[in-house]
Amino acid sequence: MINLEISAAHEEVLKNTRLLAEHMMRPYSRKYDREEHTYPKEMEEVAKLLGSRRGAPQGSAKPADGKVVNGANMGAVIGLEGLCWGDVGLFLAIPGSGLGNAAINAVGTPEQRDKYGNSYAAMCITEPGTGSDSANISTTAVADGDEWVLNGEKIYVTDGERCDTLVVWATLDKSLGKAAIKSFIVEKGTPGCEVVRLEHKMGIRASDTAAITFTDCRIPRENILGSAEVAATAEARKKAFGGVMQTFDNTRPPVASMAIGTARAALDLTQEILAKEGVELKFEKSPANLSALEADLYRMEAEWNAARLLVHKAAWMADNRMPNSKEASMCKAKAGRMGNQVTLRCVEMCQSLGYSENALLEKFARDSKILDIFEGTQQIQQLIVARQVLGKSSSELK
């Protein structure tokens, strides 16, 4: 049986996160949007209410009887929808686990998960000359006795200044291409690791986005994510890169859910504003009897629901240990595009009020753009889906 509704437990998660968003995030949205790079101390209370961790997806073991379960990934995307209905920038600024935690929990050794699983870990992938092509990493990692020596520069690191741990993508041998890419755990404060600047951004201004350099940065040999054996042979390195890339299968649905929450916020506020002018959704009307504004609202509601269902499917598959690379990219592509289109159209529909700072609509529109970019751009997601559908490798379909 197909059930398109979320469970009662997850309904409670959504209700509670929406309450937090409404009463403990929205009141500070404009303040920290204007005061970029100012630490939002109020979010510490939100972190306490959410628990010690803010929901890095981990997946759930499939039960022995084969029954379907809804676990950590489903709970994460639903909670993110509620929090990002409040403010996606402030959500990203909540002290707790970052995107690096998803990598540690996905491919780290038991010892690494114990040591760093509850740290505040950021992910360092993008470089000045490497954007969407993650296999083109230039930051190097060279073995030297009982240590690795890292050299390179990372940009657009979400939570890069405020985190305490970094998961850094680096190459063991540039000539070997993607097979030599591996992740390394670097503790903030390690000599040679330096935050060199914070970026000024169009949206999510409450969240810090950093550039970080590594200059002869030495870390313990055991801080290669996974284990030292993954770098021992060419075949092991090839498999290791596949494991690193699978991290995205767990992180893309949550980012897509951020777009779901932001778009929902824009739709709710737009309908509230338009209702005062006598424009309300009445689904009993036939399409032929709809005004242009009503037709637009109906279309956006349909797009929103389609994206949300794709997100839930990808999260459900992750919870049940089912390969979900295609579905993760599908939901990220759909939700990212939908979020951009819906928030911008909401600004247009509300005219001067949508464009002014008297309402949060213009902020929702600015915040939504990054959700279509980070964790893989729209174009990259479509390429991944095409490869999966057509059965092509990355070398066959570029």
Structure tokens at 334: 């759909």
Q: How far is the C-alpha of 330 from the C-alpha of 321, rounded, in Å?
A: 18
Structure tokens at 107: 């491919």
Active-site annotation holder among 81, 127, 327, 375: 375
**375 flagged as catalytic:** yes
Q: Give CA separation, 217 vs 2, 45, 113, 220, 288, in Å.
A: 52, 35, 22, 10, 66
Hey, which residues are catalytic here? 375
